[in-house]
Amino acid sequence: MTPIYTLKEISLTFGVRPLFTSVSLNISRGDKICLVGRNGSGKSTLLKIISGTIDPDGGSIFIQPGIKIAYMAQEEDFSLYHTLKDVVLSGLEEKDRASQSYKADILMEALEINATVNPQTASGGERKKAALARALISEPDILLLDEPTNHLDITTIEKLEEIIKKFSGAVVVISHDRSFLTRVSNATLWLDRGIIHQTDRGFASFEAWQDEILNQEIIKEKYLNKKIEEETEWLHKGVTARRRRNQGRLRRLKQLRQDRKEQIKKLGSVDLEIKEAAIRSKLILEAKHINKSFGSREIIKDFSLRMMKGNRIGIVGSNGSGKTTLLKLLTAHLKPDSGFVRIGKNLEMVYFDQNRETLDPEKTLWKTLCGEGDHIWVRGHYRHVIAYLKDFLFTPEQAQSPVSCLSGGEKNRLMLALSLAKESNFLVLDEPTNDLDMDTLDLLLEVLDEYEGTILLVSHDRDFLNKITTSMLYLKGDGSVIEHVGNYEELYEKYVKSGQKTDRKTPDAPKKEPVKEPEKQSGKSPRLSYKDQRLYEVLPNEISAIEKEIQTIEQTLSDPALFTADTDKFYALTEKLQSLQILKDEKETKWLEIEMQISMM
């Protein structure tokens, strides 16, 4: 098929570091290309070149006349917009926004986006869906997506998969989500050390294809000097070696899942009291009949759980179902309204959350890990800082580089190294895979596989969940929680798929056809009631006041000393913040319903 977009021998240098040396690629209509490579290899930069956001230093670019390109960045700046609908409409030329506003309404309904939410207070998932809708609304020929699954729940990821499959143009996507890439791609670009490799095989064949290339390089490396040979051996041999160990991991995981099944059976048996002392010695945490509500909404309803030493439990559910709330309840970071949570004795917990700690950009990687020394204490013994950095795929030369030189993914990798060095027997992970490349994900899987403690995690990455968890807690969204022993696919078939509404449709991908604006219905709609008219007038001011109160509380909670100084105040403010956010959503939804009534009159 004739390419609609071509790069030929592109080069780009940042400072003295060449990022690309001679990159060439072709994109044809219908291509669904996954772009993979290590963090810092230049994947996001390559998408920016294709989108026209930045220019290369050298090489040539050919774009077929009339081709339209839409680009969704990994992090978007929404500071200029007042509502999420404004964000979506910004994907159209200004002259078309009024006449084609209905396209935004269709996309927002399909992706379940609340049009009136302020982007500054929107959740990560809401912002990501709005950015996706903005890219789709222009009906592009080439769609560029940089980590589109970050912050999305699994149900929305599955909708996105269907959109990409139906999309008539070309797609180039960067993602760490193996399941997602396997389902959507029919071609692969691998960016490695400034050179790009291209194949017409999808991601399902990536690892075998990567091994072929690496084996060819190993043969060529025999003719290179010793220093280069040692460096490339370290860079690449670990990839294949970790993959071979996956088989052993799967066998162990199967046994752990069987153990969890037996635990659940025993905990429900009549001889529980006799074995209580033995159970207590292995108890990590126990929750009994816990309930949690924010306002009138039940988040967790009458939930009980006993988590034992060695369990690896994942928490899944749609955005807003209460996954992080449950995580905080189970780890005593949030108090339940009723019931209780008991934490086991001598528990050393490491909590790796979505917000992550802030790194000092001026410090080197070396000083970040061990200050002025040259060794770091890692789970019971000293490791030389260079050796430990190598474990996390950093080169010895990077040890003396400032943190500011790292890519976003490399910074997350460094924060992971900091967290996993701490002494612990209970690891709590809230979306740990966000912004990690596949090599780092392999490394994280290996570290967790060898971890002797207990793991509780929230993740939207189905492949990661399948390889780590012994069981999963599925939040249905109505307050109820189900524990399932097994992988995500089994859980999906048993609980999620059967519970989905039959009238909710996945949006078709934009087609290059003229779309007629829906005709307005004839006849008069009923007038607004006095109550709704009054609400329509007062709700904007109420919402504004709530937003100001939210900002004040968030500013107070940002003080790192608050939790230590006044724990009760911290808990009270946290609960009030979440209640206010839910209240704001309810008021915005009500105002939007009235607005839609008015538009029908």
Of residues 96 and 566, more confidently modeled = 96
Distances (CA, A) of 165 to 133, 145, 389, 488: 16, 14, 39, 22
Q: What is the per-residue pLDDT across 372-420, written as a single tens digit (0 to 9) for each?
A: 888 888 867 788 888 888 888 888 888 888 988 887 778 888 888 888 8
Q: What is the per-residue pLDDT across 73-121, written as a single tens digit (0 to 9) for each?
A: 988 888 889 999 999 999 999 999 989 999 999 999 989 899 999 998 8
Name the pLDDT band for 443 (thresholds 50, 70, 90). Answer: confident
182 CB burial (10 A radius; 0-12, 13-18, 19+): middle
Average pLDDT over every residue of 498-512:
46
Burial call 531-554: b when 16+ CB within 10 Å, e when fewer: ebeebbeebeeebeebbeebeebe
Of residues 279 and 114, more confidently modeled = 114
Average pLDDT over every residue of 489-503:
66
pLDDT of residue 269: 36
Q: State the Cα–Cα distance between residues 75 and 330, nearest whole angstrom.
A: 31
* Fold matches, 3-218 and 247-348+426-441+454-501: yes
Question: Average pLDDT of the chain?
Answer: 80
Of residues 598 and 161, more confidently modeled = 161
pTM of the predicted protein model: 0.61
Name the pLDDT band for 50 (thresholds 50, 70, 90). Answer: very high
Q: Which of 55-64, 283-292, 424-433, 488-497 has the lowest mean pLDDT?
A: 488-497
pLDDT of residue 266: 47
Residue ranges in 268-322 assigned as alpha helix (H): 276-281
pLDDT of residue 122: 84
Of residues 530 and 378, more confidently modeled = 378
pLDDT of residue 62: 93
Name the pLDDT band for 314 (thresholds 50, 70, 90). Answer: very high
Average pLDDT over every residue of 170-190:
93
Of residues 588 and 523, more confidently modeled = 588
Q: What percent of the chain has pLDDT over 70?
A: 80
Average pLDDT over every residue of 227-238:
48
Name the pLDDT band for 254 (thresholds 50, 70, 90). Answer: low
Pick from 382, 361, 290, 271: which is nearest to 329 by CA?
290
Q: State the Cα–Cα distance between residues 319 and 92, nearest whole angstrom.
A: 28
Question: Would you say residue 245 has pLDDT above 60?
Answer: no
Average pLDDT over every residue of 486-509:
63
Pick the CATH number of 247-348+426-441+454-501 from 3.40.50.300, 3.30.70.100, 3.40.50.2300, 3.30.540.10: 3.40.50.300
In the numeric block, the tokens 């919402």 are attached to: 543
Question: Would you say residue 502 has pLDDT above 50?
Answer: no
Name the pLDDT band for 514 (thresholds 50, 70, 90). Answer: very low
pLDDT of residue 263: 55
pLDDT of residue 287: 92
CB 177 within 8 A of CB 152: no
Q: Which of 69-73, 235-239, 260-264, 297-301 has the lowest mean pLDDT?
A: 235-239
Question: Would you say residue 164 has pLDDT above 90?
Answer: yes
Q: State the Cα–Cα distance between residues 206 and 190, nearest whole angstrom.
A: 9
Residue ranges in 4-93 assigned as alpha helix (H): 43-51, 84-89
In the numeric block, the tokens 């996105």 are attached to: 160
Q: Where are the domains of the chain?
A: 3-218, 247-348+426-441+454-501, 357-423, 530-599
Question: Would you say residue 491 has pLDDT above 70?
Answer: yes
pLDDT of residue 251: 62
Question: Would you say residue 318 has pLDDT above 60?
Answer: yes
pLDDT of residue 278: 40
Q: Domain 3-218 is of which CATH architecture?
A: 3-Layer(aba) Sandwich (3.40)
16 CB burial (10 A radius; 0-12, 13-18, 19+): exposed
Average pLDDT over every residue of 163-181:
93
Name the pLDDT band for 235 (thresholds 50, 70, 90). Answer: very low
Average pLDDT over every residue of 324-351:
89
Question: Would you say residue 268 has pLDDT above 50?
Answer: no
Spacing of C-alpha 427 from chain mean position:
19
pLDDT of residue 207: 85
Question: Would you say residue 1 has pLDDT above 80?
Answer: no
Question: Would you say residue 270 has pLDDT above 60?
Answer: no
Q: What percent of the chain has pLDDT over 90?
A: 28
DSSP-assigned states of every residue in 488-503? HHHHIIIIIHHHS-TT
Strand order in the sheet with 297-308: 297-308, 283-294, 338-343
Question: Would you say residue 237 has pLDDT above 60?
Answer: no
pLDDT of residue 276: 38
Name the pLDDT band for 494 (thresholds 50, 70, 90). Answer: confident
Q: Which of 161-175, 399-413, 585-599 has the lowest mean pLDDT?
A: 585-599
Of residues 569 and 508, more confidently modeled = 569
Q: What is the per-residue pLDDT across 124-145, written as a single tens digit (0 to 9) for each?
A: 888 999 999 999 999 999 999 9
CATH topology for 530-599 is: Helix Hairpins (1.10.287)
Using DSSP's 3-state secondary structure scheme, residue 87 falls into helix
